[in-house]
Every structure is written in C-alpha cells, then in structure tokens.
Structure 1
Amino acid sequence: MDYLTDLFAHHGLLAVALAVLLEQLGAPLPSTPVLLLAGVASAHHAGFALQAFATATLAAMAANALWFAAGRRLGRRVLTTLCRISISPDSCVRQNEASFARRGVLTLVIAKFVPGLSILAPPLAGALGMPARRFLGWNLLGSALWAGASIAVGSVFHTQIGALLRALSQLGSLALAIGGVVVLAYLGWRLWRRAQLRRELDRFERLAPAEALALRDGRADIVFVDVRARAPGLPLPTRIPGARHLDLGALGDTALAGWPVASEFITYCACPNDASAVRAAQWLKTQGRQARVLHGGIDAWVQAGLALETA
C-alpha cells in the first residue's frame, strides 16, 4: 500500500492527466477511480491534492474546448459522429438538448456527474452558438466541482480505499483478472444494449424526404412532427413547413390537444438513427394514430434541397 501511494505521488499527475483527457475525449475509460486514488495519495503527501485537482481540471478543460470548437465549426454533425463512436444510446443527442432546454448553462456544471452528458455537452454548446467566454466560465466551474469532489472523496475515505487496495494486492494477479472481467462485462453490456436499441430503431418504417414531400402534397391529412428539444434558451430557427412541435419530455393525454385530426403523422428529429423520431412515432401509435419517420431527419430534408420555414 505504501509503495502504491509513493508510486502514485511521483507519477500520479501523469496518470490523472491521461485518464481525464482520454475520458473527456470520448474513450470509454472512467477516470473517477484515478481521481479517487489521487485523493488517497493526497492523504499521505501534502500538496498533492491541489496539484491533482489543477491537473484534472486543466485536462478536462482542454478536451472540452476541443469538442466545443468542433461543435462550433461542424454544428450538429459532430454530435451524430460522437453518438456513432460512443457506446451510449443514439437518443443521447435529444436527451442532452432537453437538458440544455431545461437547465441552460447549468448543464455544463452538472455534465461531468452525468454519464453520457459529459461528452456531448461541450460540442452541443458549440453547435447551439454559446459564446466561447460563457462556455469556458461555466465549464471551468463544472470541471472544478467534479475533479474536486472526486479527489475529496478519495481523501476522506482513504482508509477504506486503502484497505480495499491491500486486499486486492493480496489477491495478486487474480485481482487484475477480476477487474478485467468487470470492465469487459460492463463494456459488453453497453454494446449489447446499444445493438438492441439499434435493431429496434431499424425495424421502424421510414420515408425518404422526397417520398414524404410527395405524400404531403398528395394528401391534406399529413402532418409533420418536429421532436427536437425546444425552449426559450434553445429556439428552433427553422422547421419543415407546417410542422408541429411535440415535446418528448411532456408526453401525456393533453400533448395532442388542439392538433388537427390527421390520418398520419411523419416525425423527424436531428439525431443519429432517427432515435427520437422513432420514439415519438411509437408513442403516437399508442394514441391510435398512424405514424412514420422521416429518414435522416431535418438534415436529410435540407440535403435533398427541400424548403424550410421560420419556426
């Protein structure tokens, strides 16, 4: 145990920097255990806690700044890419948009404490046009709170964590094997869950933009449904002409109150695999309505050269 804390005191800052940087860049490797170890080491080496805190905060800020810049430059496309390479469900874009709609910049403060939100919050802030100075200030606060809390927990419970480490050291290579199995099982479960959700999404019927437009032009009872997150601080500047907005966070008996009686709805979003649009269409079917999904969402509509209107 003493050897481990001494080793971490000498090389722990590098471990903290790499762990936080990799996690915040999108690698499925949790950095919290490393920050807890930093807290344990700080109980034996004066000044190490402050160094680890500064290192973790700066590493998180560096990674988040890169994603913010990518979001500013590439818009929502970077969110689609993130969801495709991550092991989170494809509905993560809408969930993060909804968080920004409800909490605004406070999303950046709590993002590090919420799985999935930590990676997507910075590029989403950039895609939504948040001023860089505002982003850096709130993200700094969130990063500092997260790093400080993790290191503080490790410091307060250093005795208990130390006892656990000693028990694991006695197991030797068996402890490493158990740890590896746990990590692989976690990653396997997340990948299986993602594949299961992907199969469910792929089974739902979709319409290409040209097909959806021709259907609407030929019938008067077709209604487009926009399910992107919307709030006073998160406006939707444009939409498909005539589209209605449906808040997926407030589905209920009155959600369709005042809507025209349509024989068919066509839902659309701006998320990977049309995840939110599929969810909306499934809910509409439970309400006795016919519903299909616009394949590719509003991005595919724009790429097809079709018109939009001011929301």
Structure 2
Amino acid sequence: MDLSQITEAIQRDAVWVVFVNVLLQQLGLPVPAVPTLLVAGSLAASSGQAGAMLAAAVAASVIADWVWYLAGRIFGYRVLSGLCRLSLNPGSCVTQTEARFMRWGVWSLVVAKFVPGFSTVAPPIAGSLRMPLPGFLAAAAAGAALWAGGAILAGWWLRDELQSALAMMSRHGSTMIVGLALALGGWIAWKLWQRYRFEKLAAIPHVTPSELIEALASDAPPLFLDLRGAALIATRGAVDGARAAEIDNLLRAVGDWPRERPIVTMCACPGDATAVRAAHVLGDLGYAAARPLKGGYEAWLAATRAA
C-alpha cells in the first residue's frame, strides 16, 4: 500500500482510522497519532466531519485513560513501575512522573497529552491515588480535546501545505523512509546509550533487605532514606525506621549524620534508579558508605512481611 492509498483510506474511513489510531497510541503502543490527526484534519470535507473526528479521538483517548486509571486503582504503583520498565531509559521514571503529577495536580491530566512519555503514565498515577472518577474523566476529556482538536485544526489550516507535502512524499517515498529510519535509529541509539550509562551507574554494591533488617536491629544502625515520592508514601504508608528524603535535597534529610556511618537509600523505581542516583550523590558529598537497597520498596515490603 503506497502513500496515496493510505491517504484514501483515511479520507474514506477517517473517523474509524482516527479512533483506532488514538486508542492504540494511548494504550501505549508505539503508533504516533498526531500525523494521522493532521492528515485527517487536512482531508476534512466539512466542519461536521472534523467534529466527528474530534469526537472519535476524544472518546478513544478517554477510554484508554480509563483503562489505565482502573489498572492503577487496582494494582497501584506496580502498573507504573511496569510501564517504566518498558522504557529504554527507565531511570527515575517513577520519580519524575509522580513529581509532575504532584506539582500540577488535576491539570497534569490536561497537559499530559502534550508531554512525551507522560500521557500513558498519568492515568495510573491518578488511579493509584484514588482520584475521583468524575474529575478524572473530565480532566482526561479536556486534555484529549485540546490535544486532538489542536492537531485536527492545524491540519485543516495547513491543508494545502500538507497535501503538497504528502504529494512530495509520495514521489520520494523511498528517500523519506530512509530518512525516517535513520532518525528513528539515532533516537533508539541515544536511548540505548542512556540505558548503558545508567547500568554502569547501577553497578555498585547494594544492600539486600535481609542485610538491612539485621543492620537496623544492631547497636549501630544505618541511616535509612526513603526516596519514594510523597504521593506513594501517603498511599502506601511510611516505612518504620526510614527517613523520608528527596533526591534534590539529600543534605536536608541526612542532617548531621556522620560521614563515615552507613546510609541505605530506597526507592520504588525499576532498577532502583533513584536509590542508585542518591547513593552516588551522597558518595560525591563524602558519604562513602552510602548504598542502595536491592529491589527497592517492594523487596523491602516482602522481606519485612516474611520476617
């Protein structure tokens, strides 16, 4: 199927193409929806057809967000951790997304569609925090309407330019495909390099939960820093014996703790990402005995339940 046939398919079944494309993207599949919305907008024969496309996009987006909201409500932060593990650069994914949600509140759901990587993870955060469903659906619909409506309107405004671009792409399809493949390859290479750098950072000694339990019961217990976000601590509860800390303000949490004494950092991130970063930061500050907890919060929870 060449580009002209794809364009004809969009024009013939625009509403369904938009609905399916947006639904798949918002569920997390790597199928970009904005190009489809732009092309669909440029091919809209009337304001009524454009409105139907917008309604389809909003409905698909809200359905996908509702699915992720329910997953977050049922399974909690395990869903978010799973999504972050799928990322080519999972380091600090949980911390960053939660920080955005806490900073922006309900508005985070409105702007989520415009922030790469945030659109899929914002709904499960809302679900895990037990955000009221009516407010969630209203914010998700508003964000979807702004996002999809902007793309469709831009496509309609730039319809002549887009049609010219599509015609050029049809004439030089192979060249365009090579260019897109190179750009995609470069992006993947950059993300893999980021992952490689993180894995090198993570290759430091860790403390196991059983070792930490034993150390905390000793006469000289380590300083135990809980780097989970405020929302997760509020939802799942504080950890006995741990001191809440933020990666950007570690010295405040450490206080006057002796630099030669051990420190254990814990997070709820894939690969113990934030805990590893914190251990490195503390090491640079002179706390040479700072170590991340292996397996993070979930491993600690399992170990304390078994103890």
Shift of 1:105: 1.3
TM-score by length of 1: 0.87
Q: Which residue of structure 1 lines up, in the alignment, with residue 75 of structure 2? A: 74
TM-score by length of 2: 0.88
Shift of 1:25: 1.0
Residue 200 and residue 236 in structure 1: after superposition, are their counterparts in 2 closer, same or farther (change >3 A)? farther
User: Partner letter of residue 224 of structure 2?
Assistant: F
Any residues of structure 2 matched to 1:33-182 within 5 Å, and which?
33-42=35-44, 44-182=45-183
Q: Which residue of structure 2 lines up, in the alignment, with residue 301 of structure 1? A: 300
Alpha-carbon deviations, 1:247-296, whole Å to 9, x = none? 22x437x6357443351211101111111111111111121113101111
The structure richer in helix per residue is 2
User: Partner letter of residue 222 of structure 2?
Assistant: I
Is contact 2:90-2:270 (8 Å) kept? no
Shift of 1:152: 1.7
Q: Which residue of structure 2 lines up, in the alignment, with residue 21 of structure 1? A: 23
Is contact 1:26-1:86 (8 Å) kept? no
User: Partner letter of residue 294 of structure 1?
Assistant: L
Q: Which of 265, 278, 281 is the matching residue for 1:280?
A: 278
Shift of 1:174: 3.5
Q: Which residue of structure 2 lines up, in the alignment, with residue 217 of structure 1? A: 217
What is the CA–CA distance in structure 1 between the aligned matches of 2:114 and 2:158, rounded to whole Å?
A: 19
Residue 12 and residue 261 in structure 1: after superposition, are their counterparts in 2 closer, same or farther (change >3 A)? same
Alpha-carbon deviations, 1:19-64, whole Å to 9, x = none? 211111111222111111122112x444222111111111111111
Residue 63 and residue 106 in structure 1: after superposition, are their counterparts in 2 closer, same or farther (change >3 A)? same
Alpha-carbon deviations, 1:126-153, whole Å to 9, x = none? 1122122221121111111111112122
Residue 297 and residue 10 in structure 1: after superposition, are their counterparts in 2 closer, same or farther (change >3 A)? same
What is the CA–CA distance in structure 1 between the aligned matches of 2:13 and 2:136, rounded to whole Å?
A: 31
User: Partner letter of residue 52 of structure 1?
Assistant: M
Gaps of 5+ in 2: none
Alignment of 1:260 onto 2:257: yes
What is the CA–CA distance in structure 1 between the aligned matches of 2:46 and 2:196, rounded to whole Å?
A: 47
Shift of 1:87: 3.5
Residue 179 and residue 48 in structure 1: after superposition, are their counterparts in 2 closer, same or farther (change >3 A)? farther
What is the CA–CA distance in structure 2 between the aligned matches of 1:175 and 1:260, rounded to whole Å?
A: 59
Number of aligned residues: 303
Gaps of 5+ in 1: none
SS in 1 for 2:119: helix
What is the CA–CA distance in structure 2 between the aligned matches of 1:115 and 1:38, rounded to whole Å?
A: 22
SS in 2 for 1:270: coil
Residue 145 and residue 72 in structure 1: after superposition, are their counterparts in 2 closer, same or farther (change >3 A)? same
Q: Which residue of structure 2 lines up, in the alignment, with residue 243 of structure 1? A: 242
What is the CA–CA distance in structure 2 between the aligned matches of 1:4 and 1:216, rounded to whole Å?
A: 63
What is the CA–CA distance in structure 2 between the aligned matches of 1:213 and 1:50, rounded to whole Å?
A: 60
Is contact 2:225-2:244 (8 Å) kept? yes
SS in 2 for 1:225: strand
What is the CA–CA distance in structure 2 between the aligned matches of 1:303 and 1:142, rounded to whole Å?
A: 38
Is contact 2:202-2:276 (8 Å) kept? no
Alpha-carbon deviations, 1:184-204, whole Å to 9, x = none? 5434543x1453145235412
Residue 272 and residue 81 in structure 1: after superposition, are their counterparts in 2 closer, same or farther (change >3 A)? same
SS in 2 for 1:204: coil
What is the CA–CA distance in structure 2 between the aligned matches of 1:234 and 1:133, rounded to whole Å?
A: 25
SS in 2 for 1:255: helix
User: Partner letter of residue 69 of structure 2?
Assistant: F
Q: CA RMSD in A?
A: 2.7
Is contact 2:72-2:123 (8 Å) kept? yes
Q: Which residue of structure 1 lines up, in the alignment, with residue 208 of structure 2? A: 208
User: Partner letter of residue 161 of structure 1?
Assistant: L
